[in-house]
């Protein structure tokens, strides 16, 4: 209960700070314009990431929990040079535990993994500023960086939870930046495979959509297939089919919130949640929605089009996949903040902040209720905690759908706008 209250308080403080940024936007942007961009961005990142880490985990001695237990146990095996999948269980991609293990060489503690997550998120923020450099002026990018760093979703999931979800966005736009620097689209294809090897299997869900967005896709896909063949061959050699079985097992785990967790009690379990068919249908819908939007945006500039497709793909996955839960907001929070939220639109901002708060609070409520899954309305009403959990689930799903529709409409309007 203490953790839920703490996250709620932190979320409200974050919302208050973001509100100050919004209320005094003109003055703050004038101040930003007088500052050194790199120094300001680095200073605010240190103040909102390293400082809370030092206070919470060093001075107060707070012990991290949640997914960090799994990350730490896997990293301890990896630091002993054991083989992923074969010698220890891992639901993530093969290189993921070894990245975490690199932190344990210096500090054998779960807190070291949070620290490495903080630095990687800092890299993702830097890369996002580079990615949107031609689309947004420097003042606008830094202003949105300040908002992002103070959002409940980014602060709590990164510093408190040590989540890795933003790695997917980071590695994809990192591949794009290499492609632009070298003028070789093949590197973007290799980047897709590298991302798959470092994050999780769902990383490749955006792949089919890229076929409509990347120029000369045959060069991109050829490089991806060649690099993928080498990586998959190595995985099979060392682990046989364990590299596929363990992540797929994770995909069959029932979580919340998503459309099944919300509708199952209302339909008295007639949907048969947990059936493998829902996994495959969810994958088809997620890939199909992303590919359809990419096709519709194929003539739009890549920066805008890809940021829209990325959010839509993983936002759809967040509500459609029965193993999804609200921390997945961290996957697409960076592009959503930078490209698609109109911070002068009061309704969008209010819903965006509510979305952040609900996504932060719900996982703690759900886990502390022993991960309930409701099969009838009576289950929801069995105790007040269940009712609260279910209301939070509905809120997260509705907010996700709101932003999916918003981005779909906004991005298609851009294709119709005169250039």
119-146 pLDDT, tens per residue?
999 999 999 999 999 999 999 999 999 9
Mean pLDDT, range 388-414, rounded to an integer: 97
DSSP reduced 3-state for 45: helix
Give 418's pLDDT tier (boundaries 50, 70, 90): low
DSSP reduced 3-state for 84: strand
70-75: long-range pairs with CB below 8 Å, 24+: 71/97, 71/100, 71/110, 71/113, 71/162, 71/164, 72/100, 72/110, 72/113, 74/100, 75/100, 75/101, 75/103, 75/104, 75/113
> What tokens does 51 get?
């400082």
Cα gap 327→204, rounded to integer Å: 19
265-307 pLDDT, tens per residue?
999 999 999 888 999 999 999 999 999 999 999 999 999 999 9
Give 249's pLDDT tier (boundaries 50, 70, 90): low
Per residue in 301-322, is it b (16+ CB within 10 Å) or e — as a string?
A: ebbbbbbbbbbbbbbbbbbbbb
- DSSP labels for 163-203? --TTHHHHHHHHHHHHHHHHT-THHHHHHHHHHHHHS-GGG
Domain total for the chain? Answer: 1
Domain with 196 in it: 2-416
pLDDT score recorded for residue 325: 87
DSSP 341: -
pLDDT score recorded for residue 288: 98
DSSP reduced 3-state for 88: strand
Give 243's pLDDT tier (boundaries 50, 70, 90): confident
pLDDT score recorded for residue 351: 98
pLDDT score recorded for residue 225: 92
pLDDT score recorded for residue 43: 96
User: Over pLDDT 70: what percentage of the chain?
Assistant: 97
Q: Which residues are CB-neighbours of 17 under 8 A, at least 6 positions away?
A: 150
> What tokens does 149 get?
């760093």
Mean pLDDT, range 333-354, rounded to an integer: 98
DSSP 215: S
> What tokens does 24 get?
């005094």
Alpha helices, H only, 105-185: 110-131, 138-150, 152-155, 167-182
pLDDT score recorded for residue 419: 55
DSSP reduced 3-state for 67: helix
Kindly tell me the number of DSSP H helices and DSSP E strands found in the chain: 21, 0
pLDDT score recorded for residue 264: 96
Global pTM reads 0.97
146-196 pLDDT, tens per residue?
999 999 999 999 999 899 999 999 999 999 999 999 999 999 999 889 998
Mean pLDDT, range 93-98, rounded to an integer: 94
Phi/psi at 271 (nearest 5 deg)?
-80, -10
User: Over pLDDT 90: what percentage of the chain?
Assistant: 83
188-232 pLDDT, tens per residue?
999 889 998 999 888 889 999 999 999 888 899 999 999 999 999
Instruction: Look at 253 and 303; give whichever has higher pLDDT.
Output: 303
């Amino acid at each position: 209960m203490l953790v839920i209250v703490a996250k709620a308080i932190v979320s409200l403080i974050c919302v208050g700070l973001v509100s100050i940024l919004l209320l005094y936007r003109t003055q703050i942007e004038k101040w930003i314009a007088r500052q050194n961009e790199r120094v300001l961005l680095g200073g605010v990142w240190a103040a909102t990431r390293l400082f809370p880490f030092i206070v919470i985990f060093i001075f107060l001695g707070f012990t991290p929990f949640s997914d960090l237990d799994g990350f730490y146990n896997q990293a301890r095996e990896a630091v002993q040079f054991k083989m992923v999948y074969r010698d220890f269980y891992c639901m993530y991609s093969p290189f993921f535990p070894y990245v975490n293990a690199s932190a344990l060489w210096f500090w054998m503690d779960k807190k070291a993994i949070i620290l490495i997550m903080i630095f990687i998120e800092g890299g993702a923020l830097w890369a996002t500023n580079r990615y949107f450099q031609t689309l947004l002026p420097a003042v606008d990018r830094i202003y949105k960086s300040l908002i992002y760093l103070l959002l409940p979703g980014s602060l709590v999931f990164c510093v408190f939870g040590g989540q890795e979800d933003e790695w997917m966005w980071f590695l994809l736009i990192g591949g794009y930046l290499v492609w632009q620097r070298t003028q070789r689209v093949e590197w973007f294809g290799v980047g897709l495979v590298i991302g798959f090897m470092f994050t999780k299997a769902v990383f490749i869900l955006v792949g089919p959509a890229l076929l409509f967005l990347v120029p000369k896709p045959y060069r991109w896909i050829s490089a991806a297939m060649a690099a993928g063949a080498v990586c998959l061959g190595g995985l099979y050699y060392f682990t046989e089919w364990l590299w596929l079985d363990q992540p797929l097992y994770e995909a069959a785990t029932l979580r919340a919130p998503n459309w099944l967790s919300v509708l199952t009690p209302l339909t008295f379990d007639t949907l048969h949640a947990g059936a493998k068919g829902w996994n495959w249908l969810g994958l088809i819908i997620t890939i199909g929605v992303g590919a359809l939007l990419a096709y519709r945006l194929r003539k739009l500039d890549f920066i805008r089009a890809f940021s829209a497709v990325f959010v839509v793909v993983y936002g759809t996955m967040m509500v459609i996949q029965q193993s999804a839960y609200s921390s997945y907001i961290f996957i697409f929070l960076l592009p959503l903040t930078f490209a698609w939220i109109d911070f002068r639109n009061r309704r969008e901002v209010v819903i965006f902040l509510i979305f952040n708060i609900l996504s932060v609070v719900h996982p703690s409520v759900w886990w502390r209720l022993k991960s309930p899954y409701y099969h009838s309305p009576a289950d929801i009403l069995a105790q007040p905690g269940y009712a609260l959990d279910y209301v939070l689930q509905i809120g997260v799903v509705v907010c996700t759908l709101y932003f999916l529709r918003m981005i779909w409409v906004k991005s298609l309007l851009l294709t119709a706008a005169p250039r």
